């Protein structure tokens, strides 16, 4: 378990004027929490997919953080106050997922205590429990809301001898107290009736993938706003397998009937990003081994960049 050497940010330089700046020109790569100013974005890569392996998925997501970074680097900077601090990748050499999750949680907590905004690039979706744990450490007496864009509930109970995995995050969160979550993009053919029943028992609200269409936006907005109004801090986690395989082929579990990053999606996605309660965001399950022309990594990078553009 360690932090890897920092990624070398680079890209096309169109000029030194702030009007010409790209993301790579506004990145600071020294891991120093004292350098964090309020509303700075602080990035960690969670280069771990041990949870995917335990969940019997297709491993490879541990390679994703730097590829997502590469696809982030040339996006234009649209705010003069934009600053991104990249604190490197967290890895797990000994397959001790639990210790690695705790490591990330401690770092996220420090970021949020300095009023920074936490971004994590996965890695497997086992990042959810780690990221949430860090938010909870920073705000122990506040209500943390989670919006999960995912085809799966990830509320499977850990199996004996296997432990936590990429599919157990919300089960783990629910063991620590009342859960406040909204899951968008859930697929009926990706979750057993047992998992739907568990979601109901835990009070996990959800919107099926079949319900995501333009005419249904008012209902989607209402459910999002209902959650946001009920919590103190908001965390957005995105499993890339929520998207259709044609635009996100590089994931552990590709979905032929997943959602699209179209106008309907961007309507409610940007609405979430505009919330002043949003303090943390991650993207998970990009698997470069199965990607096509870095299509999935580019989409993941674009989703992160939307937050940069709105903030």
Q: In this predicted model, what pLDDT tens digit does every residue of 210-229 receive, in sequence order?
A: 999 999 999 999 999 999 99
How far apart CA 162 and CA 94 sit, in angstroms, is 15
The mean pLDDT of 249-267, rounded to a whole number, is 95
How far apart CA 2 and CA 5 sit, in angstroms, is 10
Q: In this predicted model, what pLDDT tens digit does every residue of 87-129 receive, in sequence order?
A: 999 999 888 999 999 999 999 999 999 999 999 999 999 999 9
Residue 82, both tokens:
């934009």
DSSP labels for the chain? Answer: -EEPPPP--------SSGGG-BGGGGEE----GGG--TT-EEEEEE---HHHHHTT----GGGHHHHHHHHHTTSBP--TT--EEEEEEEE-SS--HHHHHHHHHHHHHHHHHTT-EEEEEESSTTHHHHHHHHHHHHSTTSPEEEEEE-SS---PPPBTTTB--TT-HHHHHHTTS---EEEEEE-GGGS-HHHHHHHHHHT-EEEEGGG-SGGGHHHHHHHHHHHHHH-SEEEEEEEGGGBBTTT--SBSS-BTT-B--SHHHHHHHHHHHT-TTEEEEEEE-B-GGG-STTHHHHHHHHHHHHHHHH-
pLDDT at 90: 97
How far apart CA 55 and CA 129 sit, in angstroms, is 15
Other Cβ atoms less than 10 A from the Cβ of 98: the count is 14
Check if the beta carbon of residue 265 is closer than 8 Å to that of residue 212.
yes
Overall size of the chain counted in residues = 311
Q: In this predicted model, what pLDDT tens digit does every residue of 51-71 receive, in sequence order?
A: 999 999 999 999 999 999 999
How far apart CA 260 and CA 285 sit, in angstroms, is 17
The mean pLDDT of 61-85, rounded to a whole number, is 96
pLDDT at 111: 98
- Beta bridge partners, 159, equal 163
pLDDT band with cut points at 50, 70 and 90 for residue 190: very high
Residue 18, both tokens:
């702030």
Other Cβ atoms less than 10 A from the Cβ of 95: the count is 12
Among 25, 166, 36, residue whose Cα is nearest residue 108: 36
**Which residues, including other chains, have CB under 8 Å from residue 179's CB and lie 6 or more apart?**
146, 170, 173, 202, 203, 204
- Asked whether the predicted pLDDT for residue 3 surpasses 80, the reply is no
The mean pLDDT of 236-254, rounded to a whole number, is 96
């Amino acid at each position: 378990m360690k932090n890897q050497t920092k990624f070398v940010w680079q890209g096309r330089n169109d000029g030194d004027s702030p009007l010409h700046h790209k993301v790579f020109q506004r990145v600071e790569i020294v891991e120093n929490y004292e350098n964090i100013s309020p509303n700075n974005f602080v990035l960690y890569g969670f280069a771990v997919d041990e949870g995917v392996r335990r969940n019997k998925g297709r491993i490879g997501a541990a390679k994703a953080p730097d590829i997502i970074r590469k696809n982030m680097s040339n996006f234009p900077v649209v705010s003069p106050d934009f600053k991104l601090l990249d604190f490197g990748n967290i890895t797990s050499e000994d397959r001790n997922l639990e210790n690695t999750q705790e490591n990330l949680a401690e770092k996220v907590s420090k970021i949020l205590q300095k009023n920074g905004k936490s971004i994590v690039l996965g890695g497997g979706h086992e990042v959810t429990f780690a990221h949430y744990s860090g938010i909870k450490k920073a705000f122990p007496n506040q209500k943390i809301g989670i919006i999960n864009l995912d085809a799966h509930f990830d509320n499977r109970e850990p199996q004996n001898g296997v432990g936590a995995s990429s599919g157990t995050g919300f089960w783990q969160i629910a063991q620590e107290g009342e859960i406040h979550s909204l899951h968008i993009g859930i697929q009926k053919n990706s979750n057993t009736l047992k998992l739907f029943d568990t979601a109901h028992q835990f009070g996990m609200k959800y919107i099926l993938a079949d319900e995501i269409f333009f005419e249904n936006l008012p209902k989607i907005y209402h459910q999002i706003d209902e959650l946001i109004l009920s919590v103190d801090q908001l965390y957005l986690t995105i499993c890339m397998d929520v998207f259709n395989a044609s635009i996100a082929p590089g994931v552990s579990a590709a979905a032929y009937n997943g959602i699209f990053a179209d106008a309907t999606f961007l309507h409610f996605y940007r609405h979430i990003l505009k919330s002043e309660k949003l303090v943390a965001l991650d993207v998970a399950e990009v698997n470069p081994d199965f990607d096509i022309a870095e299509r999935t990594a580019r989409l993941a990078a674009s989703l992160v960049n939307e937050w940069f553009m709105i903030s």
